Structure 1
Amino acid sequence: MKKMQRDTVFLEDAEILSHQAFAGDQFIMRLLAPHCAAKAMPGSFVHLTCDPQLPMRRPISIMRCSAKHGWIELLYKRVGKGTGLLAKRTTGEKISLLGPIGNPFSPSPGRNKPLLIGGGVGMPPMVFLADSLRKDPQKQPFVILGSEVPFPFQSIPSQIIIPGLADGVIASMPLLDDWGIGCRLASLQGFPGVFQGYVTELAEQWISSLNMQALSEVEIFACGPHPMLEAVAQLAANHNIPCQVSLEEFMACGVGGCAGCVVEVQTPQGPAMKRVCVDGPVFDAQTVFA
């Protein structure tokens, strides 16, 4: 584990405060984990023991947290044995949690029009980052969320106008609208009010509508499946926009000891193998997708 993280990663027996099921085998779990909540930053994740009978932990991104009240919130999808067992856990139970882990997103002071792009279970870090950015009155984030299963929330017609987009693209995440943050949804599934296409196509429409001054204030943050991140990196490169991506990888230890989550990253000294858990999960997009 990196020395810089030794005093900020905690092992806690977190209590399940709430556990909601949504369509598409998606779940939102709120955990009482005060040590983790006090140090979590956008891009952080936790390593959970899904069930006492399953020793291997699972990494899950943090979607929201309250340092004041000591809770963190996670969105996950049931896809295998581990998350299948996690989905059966109930309110009041305790879950062994290791976190927060990983290096966070790093917004630039002079880039006041951040574009946040989240796909599938890559949505949570974008919600967390949006929550953080809204505390800066200079920042005007725009969030694009994509899913090919029903979204894990009931979308609403946004009250926030986003110039450059078609009139019918109005669906938003209620939480982000309540925060006063512009948000639009994208999918190929024909959901009402949702952009019919990929998140990168919607992002391209918005970027192409900006003048040179506005474009110079944009930076991109993204999390989602590998093909989506590769497309986002290409979009950023095409427009010469800085871009940070949070990678999703299978992990064993989650703290840098096993090197089971390494990826090749371009550095000034040449290609290098970096551990997603502690060297990431956030990387400069062009170093990963060069």
Structure 2
Amino acid sequence: MSNTIFEEQATVLAHITHPGDQFVLRLQAPKTALTAKPGQFVHLRVSPERALRRPISIMLTDPEKGTVDLLYKAIGEGTRLLTERKCGDLIPMLGPIGQPFDLSDHDKRYILIGGGVGIPPMIFAADHLQGKADCIVFAGSEVPFPFALKPATTLLPGIQGNTILTISSLEERGIDARLASNAGLYGCYQGHVPDLARTYLSALSAQERDRCVLLSCGPHPMLHAVARLGRDMQLPTFLSLEEHMACGIGGCAGCVVKTIEDGREKYRRVCVDGPVFAADLLPEFA
């Protein structure tokens, strides 16, 4: 583990506030930037006064510049302390941590479904897949999206009406995306993001649908819906779980989840055995 997880004093390069208590944090962390893979996370010490770190998914890296981008939402005391970090501050950080998504089969079409602060791993996966394999990002939020948006220039099967907006940075790189919200946000599918993905998959031919793999991160109710979608469509489905963590490196076993492997019940640590698991191994999502 010491050869794969680094302890770095990450320097804050930018810290941008977005509506809905959302924040995008750019850190100078060259070791993590060089080795991180989609689905992994970092563990930040949010304040000198708080010993316990906070896990945050990686949204993007630039290995050449040595930067790591994170998106988080201020929902508790720890993350609210993190909002006070300013440019030039040093943040003790462990990373990259966890088992990433398997993106090695370039003949597949990856359907990337993210909700809220579960969107970042999907953006990282799309960035990794660019020019290698087909992928589509479906993102859901109940507050304004913390990204520049624009009308899409491509059509997607089954998706019509007012579902017209995409994420500008993905569109500029030729990656399709569509957005969903129950908050009446303009240009979004009015409903849950797994239902938007289902609409798309249902419009594909059987041959095209069989190429698809579902990858998802987000709130547990959303992951349940994605797991159900995968079962209904008989598609491989992989979920990145979000759990409370203490040490974040597998020592405390405070983030275990039950799995069924080869017919036997086991308990796996979300931090290092995950956070990515095949949905069919998780009885909670069966």
Shorter-chain TM-score range: over 0.9
Give the equivalent residue in structure 1 for 2:197: 203
Query: Does structure 2 retain, via aligned residues, the 8 Å contact 1:111–1:218?
Result: no
Instruction: Kindly report which structure 2 residues correspond to 1:166-177, keeping only aligned pairs within 5 A, or say none.
Output: 166-177=160-171
Q: Could you tell me how far 1:111 is from its partner in structure 2? A: 4.3
Tell me the residue number matched to 2:267. Answer: 273
Q: Say whether residues 1:8 and 2:4 are aligned partners.
A: yes
Secondary structure (helix, strand or coil) at the match of 2:134 reads: coil
Q: Secondary structure of 1:59's partner?
A: strand
Q: Provide the C-alpha distance between the structure 1 equivalents of 2:105 and 2:247, rounded to a whole number of angstroms.
A: 34
Q: Work out whether 1:27 is the aligned partner of 2:29.
A: no
5+ residue gaps, structure 1: none
Tell me the TM-score normalized by structure 2.
Answer: 0.97
Which whole-Å CA distance do the structure 1 matches of 2:36 and 2:116 have between them? 21
> In 1, are the aligned partners of 2:159 and 2:199 still within 8 Å (CA)?
yes
Contact 1:160/1:177 (CA < 8 Å) preserved in 2? Answer: no
- Kindly report structure 1 stretches of 4+ aligned residues shifted beyond 4 Å: none
Q: What residue in structure 2 maps to residue 114 of structure 1?
A: 110
Alignment of 1:228-239 (within 5 A): 228-239=222-233
> Is 1:50 matched with 2:46?
yes
Q: Distance in 2 between matches of 1:229 and 1:100?
A: 23
Task: Answer whether contact 2:223 2:239 (CA < 8 A) is retained.
Answer: yes
Rounded to whole Å, the distance in 2 between the matches of 1:110 and 1:218 is 11
Residue deviations 1:192-232, cap 9 Å, x none?
A: 11000001111111011011110111000000001110110
SS at match of 1:95: strand
**1:155 and 1:196 mapped to 2: Cα distance?**
17
Alignment partner of 2:34 out of 28, 35, 38: 38
| 2:239 corresponds to | 245
The secondary structure found in structure 2 opposite 1:129 is helix
Distance 1:242 1:108 in 2: 14
Unaligned runs of 5+ in 2: none
State the alpha-carbon separation in 2 of the partners of residues 172 and 244 from structure 1. Answer: 23
The answer to whether the 8 Å contact 1:111/1:219 transfers is no
- The AA in structure 1 aligned to 2:87 is T
Distance in 2 between residues matched to 1:268 and 1:261, nearest whole Å: 22
